[in-house]
């Protein structure tokens, strides 16, 4: 299995460049299914999940050319698509479920295996399914597949989500682009990734208003056309580098980082003692002292992102003082805490709360990554430890962080694959 060897004690300093967001790029790739012809996605991150999505689209009948050197993918979509997404690919990443909306819109039938991905919680598909049912789809589960049919076509509907689910908002929005009539999504997700997908759909000819607000309105059109779109910068990767600077008393400039997408996390880092300044094409985070503990509660955007929760727990583990981190999005996120305890962290978990008492230095030990963000958080914790930490199952990290060890090395860290 893939492992990372991390030597603690380095002060990270230098410049890193952030490419497109994983959570956006995969959804953009899935959305190309809506329009026959050749679409291009640029500013693509060179990560494993892009290859998984490329293979999934290929099996649906597309011709997919990924160019990691140019950070782009060209997807040629046929007039007639396949409609079955098999488990062997879907189990590797949850974003596979995003083909459901485009397939039901284009082919009026979709068979998508129940998704896998990170072990961070149940993340049921009820919101996706109920929304598509409101639009006229008949959906049931059979032999591990979500099977959807819309014999009479997809029709616009007024849909209110019980929770502002990103995936449900995206699947409903993509299906609605080719529906008959108007669809409104109330309590819609406001994440920048949703806005990015919506802007791509508009470039394809969709009629969408309200992106970035609680209510998105989509007026269905008869057909969409291929388009070219640049993926927005990855705010979670940008945030990870920001926390890396704070935890190692470092100084990192993050090119392409968007401070407007990270207001709450960066405010927390300033509260912890970091100095955050904007640059001409990103921002810089500098820390000269031991961090001060900060309380955090994860929430849907624009709140503190759940994907940065492992990083703030790792920071608090070596911070001065005590803190409380509350997880409101994914109940399984605290699996990461068990690995931090192996590094000597002082953390007590009670339900969806983690009480953390900071210590001056963590103790190196073998640990395992349980998901993408937990893996990155463990790397940051290992950098703040007193020796050599081996991180098992590091393949998780490659699913969300392009060339993570190489970029860390460029900042002065001693990190190698073993």
Per-residue model confidence (pLDDT) at position 116: 52
Instruction: Say whether pLDDT at 1 is over 70.
Output: no
Measured between alpha carbons, how far is 273 from 238 in angstroms, rounded to an integer?
Answer: 18
Could you read off the pLDDT of 75-85 as tens digits, one per residue?
999 999 999 98
Q: Are strands 84-85 and 109-113 parallel, antiparallel or unpaired?
A: parallel
- Domain co-membership, 195 together with 281: no
Per-residue model confidence (pLDDT) at position 123: 47
Could you read off the pLDDT of 287-342 as tens digits, one per residue?
999 999 999 999 999 999 999 999 999 999 999 999 999 999 877 778 889 999 99
Known binding residues for phosphoenolpyruvate are 22-23
Region 366-381 average pLDDT? 95
Per-residue model confidence (pLDDT) at position 367: 97
- Domain co-membership, 167 together with 305: no
Angle in degrees, CA 389, 248, 353, rounded to 5 = 75
- Domain co-membership, 118 together with 40: yes
Which of 169, 194, 222 corresponds to the end of one domain?
222
Give the residue numbers spanning the domain of 198.
25-222
- Domain co-membership, 154 together with 267: no
Q: Which CATH number characterizes residue 78's domain?
A: 3.65.10.10
Q: What percent of the chain has pLDDT over 90?
A: 85
Which of 196, 222, 248 corresponds to the end of one domain?
222
Instruction: Say whether pLDDT at 10 is over 60.
Output: yes
Q: Assess if residue 87 is contained within a domain.
A: yes
Per-residue model confidence (pLDDT) at position 91: 74
- Domain co-membership, 8 together with 109: no
User: Based on the structure, what is the number of domains in the chain?
Assistant: 2
pTM: 0.93
Measured between alpha carbons, how far is 129 from 123 in angstroms, rounded to an integer?
Answer: 13
Q: How many CA atoms lie within 13 A of 107 on its CB side?
A: 22
Instruction: Say whether pLDDT at 118 is over 70.
Output: no
Q: Assess if residue 228 is contained within a domain.
A: no
Q: What percent of the chain has pLDDT over 70?
A: 97
- Domain co-membership, 83 together with 206: yes
Known binding residues for UDP-N-acetyl-alpha-D-glucosamine are 94, 307, 329
- Domain co-membership, 170 together with 217: yes
- Domain co-membership, 255 together with 394: yes
Q: What residues act catalytically? A: 118
Region 102-114 average pLDDT? 93
- Both structure tokens of 111: 């068979």
- Domain co-membership, 396 together with 316: yes
Instruction: Say whether pLDDT at 120 is over 80.
Output: no
- Both structure tokens of 277: 């300044």
Q: Phi and psi at residue 281, in whole multiples of 5°?
A: -140, 35
Region 54-75 average pLDDT? 96
Known binding residues are 22-23, 94, 307, 329
Instruction: Say whether pLDDT at 392 is over 80.
Output: yes
- Domain co-membership, 35 together with 82: yes
Contacts of 284 (CB under 8 A, 6+ apart): 251, 252, 253, 254, 276, 277, 278
């Amino acid at each position: 299995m893939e492992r990372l060897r991390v030597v603690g004690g380095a002060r990270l300093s230098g410049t890193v460049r952030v490419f497109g967001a994983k959570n956006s790029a995969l959804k953009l790739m899935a959305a190309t299914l809506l329009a026959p012809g050749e679409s291009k996605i640029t500013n693509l991150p060179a990560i494993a999940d892009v290859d998984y999505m490329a293979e999934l689209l290929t099996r649906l009948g597309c011709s997919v050319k990924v160019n990691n050197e140019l950070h782009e993918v060209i997807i040629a979509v046929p007039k007639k698509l396949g409609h079955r997404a098999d488990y062997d690919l879907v189990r590797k990443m949850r974003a596979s479920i995003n083909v459901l909306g485009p397939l039901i819109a284009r082919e009026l039938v979709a068979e998508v295996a129940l998704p896998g991905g990170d072990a961070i919680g149940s993340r049921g598909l009820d919101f996706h399914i109920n929304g598509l049912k409101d639009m006229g789809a008949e959906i049931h589960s059979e032999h591990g597949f979500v099977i959807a049919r819309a014999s009479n076509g997809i029709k616009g509907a007024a849909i209110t989500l019980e929770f502002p689910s990103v995936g449900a908002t995206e699947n409903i929005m993509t299906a609605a682009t080719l529906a008959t009539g108007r669809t409104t999504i109330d309590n819609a997700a406001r994440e920048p990734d949703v806005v990015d997908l919506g802007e791509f759909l508009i470039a394809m000819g969709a009629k969408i208003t309200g992106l970035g607000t609680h209510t998105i309105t989509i007026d269905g059109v008869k057909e969409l056309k291929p388009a070219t779109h640049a993926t927005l910068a990855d705010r979670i990767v940008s945030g990870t580098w920001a926390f890396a600077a704070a935890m190692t008393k470092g100084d990192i400039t993050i090119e392409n980082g968007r401070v407007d997408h990270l207001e709450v996390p960066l405010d927390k880092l300033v509260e912890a003692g970091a100095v955050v300044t904007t640059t001409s094409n990103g921002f810089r985070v500098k820390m000269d002292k031991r961090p001060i503990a900060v309380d955090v509660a994860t929430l849907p955007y624009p709140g503190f992102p759940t994907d940065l929760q492992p990083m703030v727990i790792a920071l608090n583990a070596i911070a001065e003082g005590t803190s409380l981190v509350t997880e409101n999005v994914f109940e399984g996120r605290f699996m990461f805490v068990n690995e931090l305890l192996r590094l000597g962290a002082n953390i007590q978990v009670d339900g969806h709360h983690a009480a953390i008492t900071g210590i001056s230095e963590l103790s190196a030990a073998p640990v395992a990554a349980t998901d993408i963000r937990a893996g990155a958080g463990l790397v940051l914790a290992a950098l703040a430890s007193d020796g050599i930490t081996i991180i098992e199952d590091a393949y998780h990290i490659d699913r969300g962080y392009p060339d993570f060890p190489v970029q860390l090395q460029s900042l002065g860290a001693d990190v190698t694959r073993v």
